[in-house]
Each structure stands twice: as structure tokens, then as C-alpha cells.
Amino acid sequence: KEWLSKGHGEYREIPSERDFFQEVKESKNVVCHFYRDTTFRCQIMDKHLTVLAKKHVETKFLKLNAEKSPFLCERLRIKVIPTLALLKDGKTQDYIVGFTDLGNTDDFTTETLEWRLGCAAIINYR
């Protein structure tokens, strides 16, 4: 219940960089998708993250428009879109950059992404 009250269990967009810091502060595990509207692969990532957010309520799943967050993108050294920043206790632990870790293909499975997030221990994966 506490997780759900903090926005876990759904994949949602946050409006600004300022909101990012607040969201990250209140949850132990956060996956944040840095995306761009014009990038087709971001829509592929959205589809998988929507499924995983419902399945893994122990982790907060967010998305942030990279074009509206230049400070954060520079600070986290985000150069490739899509990039997932994996945060634990407010600190960035790992990144999934593009689809390289996911088989380098547009038709990777949700299970592949789930496995990769499990490797980073950002979700409880068995």
C-alpha cells in the first residue's frame, strides 16, 4: 500500500527535472526512462515498461522527456535515447543505453528487459 501511494505499480511521466529529484528521493528503487517523442525506440521501451511497472510494484517506473531536462541529461551523461537510469536510494547505479544490452534488436521481449533489470537488482527477479 505504501508503495502504491508513492506512485509504484504504474508507469508514468514526470513533468520536470525538479519532480525527478522528489520522486527519486521517496523510493528505494527507481527506473527512469529518458525519452524523446520523435524516437521510435522509445515507444518500444514504453510498451515493455508499462507491463513491468504493474508486475514489479517494489520499483517506481518513470519517464522524463530528455529534451525538457538538459541539466539532468548532462549530469547523468545521457547521450543515447532511449536510456534507462536505474537508481537505488537516490543514486544512479546503472544504465541501460539503447537496446545494446537487450539483444540489439527492436523486437526484444519484456522478459529480456526484466532479466536485465534483475541483473542490476533494481527489481526482485527470479
Q: In the prediction, which pLDDT does 2 show?
A: 85
What does each C-alpha distance from 19 to 10, 31, 69, 72 come to in angstroms?
Answer: 16, 14, 11, 11
What are the tens digits of pLDDT across the range 45-61? 999 999 999 999 999 99
Q: Is the pLDDT of residue 16 over 90?
A: yes
Please name each of the domains of the chain with its CATH number. 1-125 (3.40.30.10)
Question: Distance (Å, rounded) from C-alpha 68 to C-alpha 27?
Answer: 23
Q: In the prediction, which pLDDT does 126 show?
A: 80
Question: Distance (Å, rounded) from C-alpha 29 to C-alpha 90?
Answer: 8
* CB atoms near residue 100 (< 10 Å): 9
Q: In the prediction, which pLDDT does 76 show?
A: 95
What does each C-alpha distance from 121 to 65, 91, 105, 107, 116 come to in angstroms?
Answer: 25, 14, 23, 24, 9
Q: DSSP character for 101?
A: G
Q: Is the pLDDT of residue 6 over 90?
A: no
Question: Distance (Å, rounded) from C-alpha 70 to C-alpha 54?
Answer: 29
Half-sphere exposure of residue 113: CA atoms within 13 angstroms, side-chain side: 27
Mean pLDDT value of segment 103-126: 96
What are the tens digits of pLDDT across the range 62-79? 999 999 999 999 999 999
